[in-house]
A and B are shown apart, each in its own frame.
Chain A
């Protein structure tokens, strides 16, 4: 039999009708919904008099447009956001969808709570109307973002029209150096292949550096697959995955657990499986990375100098960022530090930030905002005293949500401000009109918060 990749295997086990001239009809095991991309889809169901086919495979949360300063939603603060969130509540109630709403102790960013609740499991197909659905691929699930029209398709049929993508192996061998995180790895990968490098492909992250990563780190890696143009990213499940999932709310229990693990162990690419594309990276050569431009591909080692504006795109980006070719980014003043988002808001991310901020102060001219990915993470962080470290350092400690990653709530940059952000997109205006975003790891963000300047975190590591 032809050796298969992990992606091939998950794809084949979910094909309801094979691909011909028409795309395949693919069955979806888990549909995550949130307030921004679901209202029009539910309207479509109503307009066509259709039922929600599988409420049991649908989960909802509110994350994108909610405030993170409070759990109280006040209409006059933001009428549009209020309408979206209350519409989600009403739709979930009407159609029988389990909702972890703004008041729930399990609320959080959709890509944080799926894994945290154990709903995300190896081998599943998972979709959500959000491009960072690729995050769930860290568990060996085929997970990708869809548009609102397709949200309607999945609500009504639990299926999607899909064409099979190409296989792209991203192998990261070797051992990462101290102070280098999976965020640096993915920024490095995207800087090498470009933001369109993975178009039409699904990444499979392999290699010893990936095997050594914990689940939080793997989620960061898969999260930004979409920034490299790939619709999904995958890591084959292993003991680290099973350890993470064991005992979670929606994980299989008892004998079902043993059966599930036996099945999950088969979920790996066969020896000799063919990839359409491949890149091999020596993890030991990767340095802490930072973005200097206006897409995640415009990233470089933090010690590097801003490159020449070789084309119009770079020229425009440097103009927007008000940076000059040949200028180092180190010691560039910053205004805001944002630690959070579906990329880097999990407990290990917060611990990393706390390891730097402990006993230090955020610089006077810097506003540091730390937003946990979920209420459960918030609770765990507080139990460890991380909140105290942050507040003592002068940072703001928030309720969970997407917050300053997407600037759909009150958290945003002022025009011209520089932020170091642990989020995933440094597009023009992404964090507020005129705001200038530099993407980096939680370690780099925390170190820079302390100095008020772009800082090489390795200077602050305990010797």
Chain B
């Protein structure tokens, strides 16, 4: 997995509620049998002006998202699509469960903030939509337009992202325990 420690970039602010995985990438695009090239089809049906109104959207690596972002299917393609488009960090007040797991496993950091802190960032972005934001995973902080907002993240997920640690490798290190478990059944 690609490491992720610090991301500094301009920001997309698209805070509609309940954006589902079919809106991120409609199921009809899921037939490809590799993982790349999905970015061209991001939000292809809904074409939100918040994203496509920005000429440099694909250079912006951070997105402020709305609540329950990523609900719907368990398909991983939604994350591949966002990542392939250019996003490395998504910031919301709540992510859908499977989507959040998929993101963290695929090198996309999902930051969950309290609504008040999230709103501060949205307000600050509206005043300064071209400003650069820094998301520092090591320090667990977001800095933007004079704001410094701490965030919490599970230490296992943090380590995996920081070290580019692979979850399958982690599981397979427990081969002995798996064998013991299987033998006891």
Whether the Cβ atoms of A131 and B73 lie closer than 8 Å is yes
B68 touches which of A36, A148, A196 (Cβ 8 Å): A196
- Chain B window 62-105, contacts with chain A (Cβ cutoff 8 Å), 1 for yes, 0 for no: 00000110011111100100000000000000101110011001
Interface size in chain A (residues, C-beta < 8 A):
60
| Assembled-state Cα–Cα distance A81/B30 (Å) | 10
Is B23 close to A, CB under 8 A? yes
Q: Are B181 and A428 in contact (CB under 8 A)?
A: no
Q: How far, in angstroms, from A312 to B48 measured CA to CA in the complex? A: 13
Q: How many residues of B contact A (CB 8 A)?
A: 47
Whether B27 and A131, one on each chain, are in contact in the complex, defined by CB atoms closer than 8 angstroms, is: no
- State which of B52-60, B113-121, B167-175 sits at the interface with chain A: B167-175
Which residue from B16, B35, B102 sits with its C-beta under 8 Å from A312? Answer: B16
Nearest B residue to A146 by beta-carbon distance? B74
**Residue in A closest to B175 when the chains form the complex, CB atoms:** A157
A394-B101 Cα distance, complex, nearest whole Å: 45
| B residues in contact with A282, CB < 8 Å | none
Q: Point out the residues of chain A lying under 8 angstroms from B177, CB to CB.
A: 16-17, 25
- Smallest distance from the beta carbon of B177 to chain A beta carbons, Å? 5
Chain B residue numbers with a CB within 8 Å of A158 are 178, 182
> Are A149 and B76 also in contact (CB < 8 A) when A22-B170, A406-B27, A428-B45 are?
yes
- Please measure, in the bound complex, the distance between the C-alpha atom of A83 and the C-alpha atom of B31, giving whole angstroms: 9
Residue of B nearest to A295 (CB): B18
Q: Is the CB of A407 within 8 A of B71?
A: no
Q: In the complex, what residues of A have CB within 8 A of residue B97's CB? A: 199-200, 229, 231
Interface residues in chain B, defined as those with a beta carbon under 8 Å from any beta carbon in chain A = 16-18, 20, 22-23, 26-28, 30-35, 45-46, 67-68, 71-76, 79, 94, 96-98, 101-102, 105-106, 154-156, 167-168, 170-172, 174, 177-178, 181-182
- Where the two chains meet, the residues of A that have a C-beta atom closer than 8 Å to any C-beta of B are 16-17, 21-23, 25, 27, 36-37, 39-40, 44, 48, 65, 78, 80-81, 83-84, 87, 129-131, 133, 145-150, 152-153, 156-161, 195-196, 199-200, 226, 229, 231, 295, 311-313, 316, 406-408, 412, 425, 427-430, 433
